[in-house]
A and B are shown apart, each in its own frame.
Chain A
Amino acid sequence: MLTRDEAEKLIQEVLAAYPPEAAEDRAKHLAVLDGETLEGGCGITANRKSLPGVMTIRGCAYAGSKGVVWGPIKDMIHISHGPVGCGQYSRAGRRNYYVGTTGINAFGTMNFTSDFQEKDIVFGGDKKLAKLLEEANALFPLNKGISVQSECPVGLIGDDIEAVAKKKSADLNKPIVPVRCEGFRGVSQSLGHHIANDTIRDYILDRPKADDGIQAGPYDVAIIGDYNIGGDAWSSRILLEEMGLQVVAQWSGDGTLAELERTPKVRLNLVHCYRSMNYISRHMETKYGIPWLEYNFFGPSRIADSLRRIAARFDDRIKAGAEAVIAKYQPMADAITNRFRPRLEGKRVMLYVGGLRPRHVIGAYEDLGMEVVGTGYEFGHNDDYDRTQVDLKNTTLIYDDASGYELERFVERVRPDLIGSGIKEKYVFQKMGIPFRQMHSWDYSGPYHGYDGYAIFARDMDMTINNPCWKMMTPPWRQPNAA
């Protein structure tokens, strides 16, 4: 167990390696929390530009817009406008599952790109974009719309993608959304989420359309900020539907354009990923008067708590439905806990993920008797750190935008039993002999949301921590009986 003094000493040790100016800057991003609640975000400065020269793990605005918010909308074509690499190397990597026939009425795992060449940089790429939009629409006529996701060069050479989109949108009679998410904008993918949210607001929600005559049902809700990674949104959705709510839209995992357009008529927006979709939730609250509620579907105690909080916004029928759902699944969850808890009790976890999971998965680990000794966001903002404090009970290291070096030093000293982070960290820590799970993509497993997800989560954690391979890490020449 880490004590406060040890943790603070550890931070000082890590900072000592930096030049004074850099150390001063990084000191603002590292903190120790002791279970107390501070006003204004753990005393951490967040959402600042990464230090030049340190190895940051952050992504870019394009990643936030194309990869996170727009990408999973399955019946739209998302064009990576610029050189081929950005789209190709991120293609389908996030495992946003969807139903549909790829290439016919769904395009989630496909890569559309304008493949910029030297001449496009020199003479501009607008003509190419116009041609591409027509071509894509002709080849895939069942697409419901097209979004143009800018990569860095488009912003640098000053192409007017808005004009092209406007013209082609009229020609093709489909929404064409120009998204100015050039990678150099902002300090991390977080600005990409914001830009994407704003374009949904401007080009989808505000788009003049004929009144579809749909009347909002009394129990209509939308799932906001669930990207259906490994099927997460599906395992969440069944719980909401079982308690009597009608889920009319999924933003944006397995989502469609029609669902987005339908959302301003729901009764309540249920926000899972606050970081990436609070902007649009706030907009819908102001413009359409739709309240929003953050919830957490990781681990049975948080699920039960969330279901009750959601039900409290509706009538007695839904409240009874929530209790029935909890009563139905609790025995299953208890059986899982009873099976895995003895194998995982007391294990210590360090997390370093994106903008939501550093706090949301803590409850699930606690249900399994594990404790979180360190957590941090790649691109969280101050309001995220505010929300994190309530989830932390014991002394915890907090690191914002940690560099490769910082993480390695922390892990070396803390020696947790499990690390949850991304692919870039995975092999470093496995080579250090520490069990590791990717918490961005669930390590190609999942879903982890909902009661069904908890079963998989518990199994995966057990499988990783209690894997016999970790006992075989001593090289032959260090073994006492080596011949």
Chain B
Amino acid sequence: MLRHNERGELLCYVPKKDLEAVVRTVEFDQDDRWGGTLSLANGEKLYLEPLTQRPLIPVTFRVRKL
């Protein structure tokens, strides 16, 4: 699940792992293409199939672990 934290950073929450980490970078960060590899603050990387538009946050996705 992606949401913004109080400082406005993108925050990722993985319910299964109770992992809550700031998303440092998003591979594709354009209005017509959003997603790809998400790098988390704890060093992990998640892959989200790129979307055709910027998602409305908060939102829940199914992602793959890289």
Contact = CB atoms under 8 A, between A and B. Distances in A.
A134 interface: no
Interface in B40-66: 41-43, 58-60
A286 B1 contact: yes
B42 A282 contact: no
A11 B20 CA distance: 27
A137 interface: no
Interface string A45-81: 0110000000000000000000000000000000000
A382 B18 contact: yes
Contacts of B6: 293, 309
A286 B58 contact: yes
A383 B15 CA distance: 10
B54 to A, nearest CB: 16
Nearest to A47: B18
B18 A286 contact: no
B20 A39 contact: no
A386 interface: yes
Interface residues of A, number: 14
A381 B58 CA distance: 22
A241 interface: no
Contacts, number: 32
Given A285-B58, A286-B1, A286-B58, A39 B42 contact: yes
Given A282-B13, A285-B3, A286-B60, A40 B42 contact: yes
B17 interface: yes
Nearest to A385: B18
Contacts of B1: 282, 286
Q: How large is the interface on B (under 10, 10 to 19, 20 to 34, 35 or more residues)?
A: 10 to 19
Contacts of B59: 286
Nearest to B1: A282
Given A40-B42, A282-B13, A286-B1, A381 B60 contact: no
Contact of B21 (A39, A293, A381): A39
Interface in A20-56: 39-40, 46-47
Nearest to A282: B1
B58 A383 contact: no
B18 to A, nearest CB: 4
B11 to A, nearest CB: 11
A296 B42 CA distance: 26
Task: Among B3, B18, B19, find the residue whose CB has the most chain A CB atoms closer than 10 A.
Answer: B18
Contact of B18 (A285, A289, A381): A381
Interface string A275-294: 00000001001100100010
B26 to A, nearest CB: 18
10 A-B pairs closest in CB distance: A381-B18, A40-B42, A383-B20, A39-B42, A382-B18, A285-B58, A286-B58, A383-B18, A39-B41, A286-B60
Interface of B: 1, 3, 6, 13, 17-21, 41-43, 58-60
Given A47-B18, A285-B3, A383-B13, 7 more contacts: A39-B41, A40-B21, A40-B42, A282-B13, A286-B58, A381-B18, A383-B20
Interface of A: 39-40, 46-47, 282, 285-286, 289, 293, 309, 381-383, 386
